[in-house]
């Protein structure tokens, strides 16, 4: 593995070689106010923020188009065959499909991705004001200099067992088609026994050091095509020396 720095060795998440964007923690921008419903958890072992209606209705439509395009590829990576969190014996903790979407684009080509374009949200003053309430953990977010993005897709009996991410902060955005054709796929922080209900277009933002997991998805029937399971768009934020950032 070719680490970007001697101190970064992701054991659970995106390929470190795809970290290339200036972090959303920097340079707040002004945009129309989002229609978020926010639940802020500052007490307990796992501080986190839940955002419902993360994407606007128009953005949501565009995200679905992009997710369907990734899912239509002939060759789809499996989490268990890539860099992923493992048990002590080396067995992968995840069974799911993965899309390292930064590998689909050049640096300029990223502007063609709705997933990347809609990361303007994390640079808004509104978002920053919410995160500032999670002290002192918020300081590590505002110190980040780069981000990386990964998409997971779960179908029958697929999951991600308890793991932490080797980054500063993680954001998971969930997409599911309704009516839902599966049970399970729940998200929780096992150390604090805090559960965040799986809802479409919901985002959860938390310090990456805290273990989290996704329970197995149980499909009601075998889907006729890919796309009726559970999608997670994950953005990771990390502090890196400027010389190691591409872009």
pLDDT one-digit tens code per residue, 175-212? 999 999 999 999 999 999 999 999 999 999 999 999 99
Here the tokens at position 124 are 């808004």
The total number of residues shown for the chain amounts to: 247
Tokens 């995840």 correspond to 94
Distance CA 98, CA 85 (A): 14
3-state secondary structure of 17: helix
Entry pTM: 0.86
pLDDT of residue 216 exceeding 60:
yes
Backbone angle region of 90, left / alpha / beta, with phi > 0 → left and psi within -120 to 50 → alpha: left
- Three-state SS annotation for 89-131: CCCECEECEEECHHHHCCCHHHHHCHHHHHHHHHHEHHHHHHH
Name the band, by pLDDT with cuts 50, 70 and 90, for residue 24.
low
pLDDT band per the 50, 70, 90 thresholds, residue 61: very high
């Amino acid at each position: 593995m070719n680490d970007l720095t001697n101190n970064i060795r992701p054991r659970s998440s995106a390929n470190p070689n795809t970290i290339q964007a200036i972090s959303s923690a920097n340079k707040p921008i002004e945009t129309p106010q989002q229609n978020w419903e926010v639940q802020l958890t500052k007490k307990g072992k796992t501080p986190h923020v839940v955002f419902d209606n993360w994407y606007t209705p128009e953005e949501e439509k565009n995200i679905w188009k992009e997710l369907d395009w990734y899912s239509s590829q002939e060759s789809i990576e499996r989490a268990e065959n890539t860099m992923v969190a493992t048990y002590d014996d080396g067995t992968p903790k995840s069974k799911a499909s993965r899309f390292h979407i930064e590998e689909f684009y050049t640096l300029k080509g990223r502007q063609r991705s709705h997933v990347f374009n809609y990361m303007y949200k994390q640079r808004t003053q509104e978002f920053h004001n919410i995160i500032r309430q999670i002290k002192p953990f918020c300081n590590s977010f505002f110190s980040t200099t780069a981000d990386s993005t990964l998409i997971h897709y779960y179908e029958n009996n697929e999951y991600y067992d308890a793991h932490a991410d080797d980054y500063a902060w993680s954001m998971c955005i969930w997409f599911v088609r309704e009516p839902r054709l599966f049970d399970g796929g729940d998200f929780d922080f096992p150390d604090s026994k805090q559960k965040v209900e799986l809802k479409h277009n919901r985002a959860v933002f938390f310090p990456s050091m805290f273990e989290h997991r996704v329970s197995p998805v149980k499909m009601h029937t075998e889907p006729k095509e890919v796309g009726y399971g559970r999608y997670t768009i994950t953005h990771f934020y990390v502090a890196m020396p400027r010389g190691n950032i591409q872009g």
